[in-house]
Amino acid sequence: MSNYRRAWHPGGTYFFTVNLLKRAGNDLLIRHIDVLREAVRVVRETHPFIIHAWVVLPDHLHCVIELPPGDIDFSVRWRLIKSHFSKAIPKTEAMSLSRFSRNERGIWQRRFWEHLIRNEQDFFAHMDYVHINPQKHGLVEQVSDWPYSTFHRLVEQGIYPKEWAGGEEDQLDHRE
């Protein structure tokens, strides 16, 4: 087994990118958004975490989450979220012999990208990255037009203005 270098910080706040195995032309995550939401909800019941930011794109997702004090096991959370999602959708994907022998579905990339948030500036940079991603990928003109994002909740809380990143460069600085 590979020895991956992971940043283990009990109670840490992390940025994640989680990708589908087949990304090109794949809209599986938004097509089954309710299944994904339910998978996250179920996992949070037994393995709690705070969602600071989350965006679901057709073929991948980004989020900033915070683990409970003393907890370092983000890997089990992702394993369970992926598993719950995979078990709840129809089997239509092609599977490699390797995945078949491991009893895996051919839905998710096995790994994910994680980054331990180091300070407040890093936190805000990753929050912005999460929320601007649909615009960055050309899915919408304005961030507020993408429905699968915590951006809308944060607008309601007064964290972001609704027009943030709507094509106006001066709108990006929302914390002053």
Q: Which residues are catalytic?
A: 148
Structure tokens at 165: 């990143």
The owner of tokens 């909800």 is 41
**Residue 172 CA to chain centroid, in angstroms?**
21
DSSP string, 39-83: HHHHHHHHS--EEEEEEE-SSEEEEEEEPPTT---HHHHHHHHHH
Distance CA 68, CA 36 (A): 22
CB atoms near residue 121 (< 10 Å): 9
Distance CA 176, CA 174 (A): 6
